[in-house]
Structure 1
Amino acid sequence: MEFKSPAKPNQLAPRFTEIATFMRVPIAQTLEEADIGMFGIPYDGALTNRPGTRHGPREVRNQSSLMRAVNHATRINPFELAQIRDMGDVPFTRMFEVEASHKEIEAFANMLIEAEVMPFAIGGDHSISLPLLRAIAKEPIALIHIDAHADTTDSFQGSKFNHGAPFRRAVEEGLIDPTKTIQIGIRGTQNTSDGWDFSAASGMRVVFCEEFHEKGPAAIAAEARALVGDMPVYLTYDIDSLDPVYAPGTGTPEIGGMTTHQAQILLRGLRDLNYVGADLVEVSPPFDVGDVTSLAGAALAYEILCLLAEVHQKRAFE
């Protein structure tokens, strides 16, 4: 028998075998071999409610072993369109300091971007989107934000960098263009309307869950495409956009959310945009039931990967 490196999983092997990587792609040996780099951000130091999203990347990796190659709805095989690699996890050295941890996330993402690797992060709490945007956005970019919460509140317990504030900070820092930002699936009670008010006043298009359910995911996706146009766009997906029936394992669950099928339709309607990166966040395995949230996270990460890989291939032929 010849030794086979575990850094190169066999996608055709039984799905319960081999080391779990994101989507069973090879572990990156060099930056040069990757077009799209999937990586974990096991960080939840900026949470305001239930903890546990630090364990999200590991469990999404595990459940992503169930993903296979070809998307039945779009017929996209992302692994044929781009060199996709698991880049490992962001190595933290100061996890008890939020802003220091954010700098380490930003540095990791910068390393990928300088090597022309498109970043696709699996978190982690939603505060991680801010340092990722700091690395990616050299000028204001568009944002598609799918979530139960607007994440545009000002501060919590004296911190302006909690997981409920990243997109307010992103506007203030000139990282995103709020008039080219759409927030989809927003719902749930709040103690103040501060976040919703900021989103509206800054020019963001806010789609509350009632409108989403009334119009349907395909129509909302079409509106998002029209709003973003050909601008560079970042896609951020919070698993709590799903109803807790489909995603109980998250920090701030809100009833009245999307079904997993609605989420698939929404994402499949967001093809052919000028993506510059993406993240999927807020999977909290300690609160999960039967791994359904981690599985949903893995399956929706696969849908996002299809979007990124398709865009990468089109750029390669331009």
Structure 2
Amino acid sequence: MKLRNFGYSFLCANWSFASSVQHNDQDLEQMWGQDWPFSGIQTYAHLPHERCLIDKSLDFDIGIIGMPFDTAVTFRPGARFGPQAIRKASQRQTSMRGFNFRAGINPYQNWAKIMDCGDVPVTPMDNKLALEMMDAAFENLLDRNSTLQKSEMPPRFVTLGGDHSVILPILRQLYKVYGPISVIHFDSHLDTWAPTKYPSYWHSDESEFTHGSMLWLAKQEGLLSEDSNVHAGLRTRLSGTGWDDYEEDDDVGFHRIECDEILKIGADGIAQKILDVVAKDRPVYISVDIDVLDPSAAPGTGTVEVGGMLTRELIHIIRKLEDLPIVGADVVEVSPAYDHAEITSLAASQIVYELITNMVKGGPVDPSIMPKKKLAGIASAREQIFLEPAHQTM
């Protein structure tokens, strides 16, 4: 009986060894390369992760970059934790199950190589230094060509905020490549307020840089296209006793679509009004402040305004913009400390997915959208021509 048991054990051991040898001969990527939504390192949508700021030889078409900066807010802080929250909320997204039924493509299994580039390590101690760091980071990120598509165009980025002020350094660096940018600004607030709209006895040059003044600053620096920018989803209270804020917004060059209009013309009507304003032959940047959504759909943000869009409506509008020449995008102002059940970060992660889908479906950026003088020099002298930011005032 003991001999029989010994023989059985010997056979089991040999079977186990043979099985392990067989497994070792299999493709390890197939065996261990797929994570469940609840496993693995939390990159956006389980995309491959590289530190793009450190390795400039990386080859990709679309990058996800976190900008965890929130010390330019005027009310509740906390958006520095937004990139982490958005990535965590995106874990049910994978390239294997990424087909976008609204767009008819899987952006993760198409022509574009998409990568999570990590975060910019922005200082929370000094806003002047933080702005310099964000400028330098985006200059670094855009200073590379896409050899995948044999193109002189740099990769495109979807930025995870962070407060909304992060758009200023992004626009500065995009301007160097593409010239003036048309901005589609989804927000409940104008964000074109001059610094004088925040009166205080105490003042410094750095205090002018806030998450409500950055589009005004972009105008002063010549970064915006003329009369081809639009706000969508507005419902903010205004200063004083009249329409002064709107008149100043006109001077910055924005058209306004108030959120209440969706009750009259619907999501299709809002999308069409945007398309009627934004030129189809100029570079377009889409900026999504998560507070464009109603607090019931996005409570985790710093400056909530009631009466906003539903997530479904915003996604529908974004899908209607897929034919525009999008050169970059962001989703900002996600503050998970004010959230519950990940409602806000889940909405944000879906919006990022839709923005990526638009970039992929639209194909590589057509160089013809660039001004002729920039197009002529991009292949050989981009760095020499554009060494300094455009008319910086900070």
TM-score when scaled to structure 2?
0.74
Say if 2:294 and 2:307, in contact at 8 Å, map to a contact too: yes
Rounded Cα–Cα distance in structure 1 between residues aligned with 2:259 and 2:224: 23
Say if 1:185 and 1:207, in contact at 8 Å, map to a contact too: yes
What does residue 183 of structure 1 align with? 231
**Deviation above 6 Å: which 4+ runs of structure 1?**
1-5
What does residue 28 of structure 1 align with? 50
Bigger Cα Rg: 2
What does residue 55 of structure 1 align with? 81
Rounded Cα–Cα distance in structure 1 between residues aligned with 2:103 and 2:325: 18
What does residue 273 of structure 1 align with? 324
What does residue 143 of structure 1 align with? 183
What does residue 111 of structure 2 align with? 81
What does residue 111 of structure 1 align with? 140
> How far apart are residue 176 of structure 1 and its match?
0.6
Rounded Cα–Cα distance in structure 2 between residues aligned with 1:282 and 1:314: 27
Q: CA RMSD in A?
A: 2.1
What does residue 296 of structure 2 align with? 245
TM-score when scaled to structure 1?
0.92
Rounded Cα–Cα distance in structure 2 between residues aligned with 1:242 and 1:28: 32
1:107-256 superposed matches below 5 A: 107-115=136-144, 116-138=154-176, 139-155=179-195, 156=198, 157=200, 158=203, 159-192=207-240, 194-228=244-278, 229-256=280-307
Q: Report the AA paired with residue 135 of structure 1.
A: Q
Rounded Cα–Cα distance in structure 2 between residues aligned with 1:19 and 1:200: 46
> How far apart are residue 200 of structure 1 and its match?
2.2
Say if 2:68 and 2:121, in contact at 8 Å, map to a contact too: no
Per-residue CA deviation, residues 179-228 of structure 1 (Å, 9 max, x unaligned), is 00010001122344554332123331100111233212222212322322
> How far apart are residue 313 of structure 1 and its match?
4.3
Rounded Cα–Cα distance in structure 2 between residues aligned with 1:81 and 1:189: 44
Identify if the C-alpha distance between structure 1 residues 181 and 314 changes in structure 2 by more than 3 Å, giving closer, same or farther: closer
Q: Report the AA paired with residue 214 of structure 1.
A: K
Name the SS for the 2:281 alignment partner: coil
Per-residue CA deviation, residues 250-289 of structure 1 (Å, 9 max, x unaligned), is 0000011000100111100001111111111000000001
Rounded Cα–Cα distance in structure 2 between residues aligned with 1:178 and 1:48: 28
Rounded Cα–Cα distance in structure 2 between residues aligned with 1:21 and 1:237: 21
Say if 2:86 and 2:345, in contact at 8 Å, map to a contact too: yes
Identity %: 36
Q: Report the AA paired with residue 63 of structure 2.
A: G
Rounded Cα–Cα distance in structure 2 between residues aligned with 1:100 and 1:313: 34
| Count of aligned pairs | 311
Identify if the C-alpha distance between structure 1 residues 28 and 4 changes in structure 2 by more than 3 Å, giving closer, same or farther: farther
Q: Report the AA paired with residue 119 of structure 2.
A: D
Say if 2:290 and 2:348, in contact at 8 Å, map to a contact too: yes
What does residue 39 of structure 1 align with? 65
> How far apart are residue 103 of structure 1 and its match?
1.7
Say if 1:171 and 1:178, in contact at 8 Å, map to a contact too: no
